[in-house]
Amino acid sequence: MTRLAPLVLLLLAAAPLAARESLGVYESWAAFKDAKPLRCYAIAKAQGTAPAPAYATISNWPDKGVRGTVHLVLSRGVADKSAVRLVVGDKRFTLVAKGRNAWAKDAQGDAAIVAALRSAARMSVSAKSTKGGNFTDRYTLAGAATAMDAATVGCARRG
């Protein structure tokens, strides 16, 4: 449980406690459901100690018709026009970034990343920092597939 304490603290600070329902903790990933607006997501904190909390989410927004959207909050701001590279197992993706946030370019990119997450053990995202130099945020994917499935099922049940 101590390993998950930073993740739980991060999530509690991110939104009101009463609006969030835990759907489970699966290894290094967890799944949650927010009631308003309805959103379910799998989330993991980056490994190691960084200047700022970094985490990855895979979200479903049923009322918006969105499923499996990838969002990363990076440990540092990304320099303008810097490439942001996501590596999931042996698959490589280029992300769109603004400030500390990064996303897939489109729904097809989201789907490809989610598929890669299901079969890989590790993920990393790298870019050039606004302060100069390159940085990399690293994640373990143990429990990612189960957390994503819990988020999908959580939003399928509307009650």
Confidence of residue 99 (pLDDT cuts 50, 70, 90): very high
- Tell me the pLDDT tens digit for each residue of 113-127: 999 999 999 999 999
- Measured CA to CA, the distance from residue 43 to residue 109 in angstroms comes to 18
Q: Are 50 and 137 in contact (CB under 8 A)?
A: yes
pLDDT (tens digit per residue) in 21-72: 999 999 999 999 998 899 999 999 999 887 889 999 999 999 999 999 999 9
The single-letter DSSP state of residue 108 is H
C-beta separation of 150 from 24 below 8 A:
yes
Tell me if 78 sits within 8 A of 55, measured CB to CB.
no
Position 50 scores a pLDDT of 73
Residues composing the chain: 159
For the chain, domains (ranges, CATH) are 2-156 (2.60.40.1880)
| DSSP, res 72 | E
* Strand 39-45, strand 84-88: pairing: unpaired
Q: Which helix (H) or strand (E) holds 112?
A: helix 107-119
Residue predicted with more confidence, 124 or 16: 124
Which pLDDT band holds residue 20 (cuts at 50, 70, 90)? confident
Kindly report the three-state secondary structure assignment for every residue of 5-52.
Answer: HHHHHHHHHHCCHHHEEEEEEECCEEEEEECCCCEEEEEEECCCCCCC
Whether 108 and 135 have beta carbons less than 8 Å apart is answered as: no
Please give the pLDDT value at position 8. 43
The reported pLDDT for the residue numbered 9 is 38
Token pair belonging to 143:
């429990």
Q: What is the pLDDT of residues 128-152, one digit of tens each?
A: 999 989 999 999 999 999 999 999 9
Residue 94 has pLDDT above 70, yes or no: yes
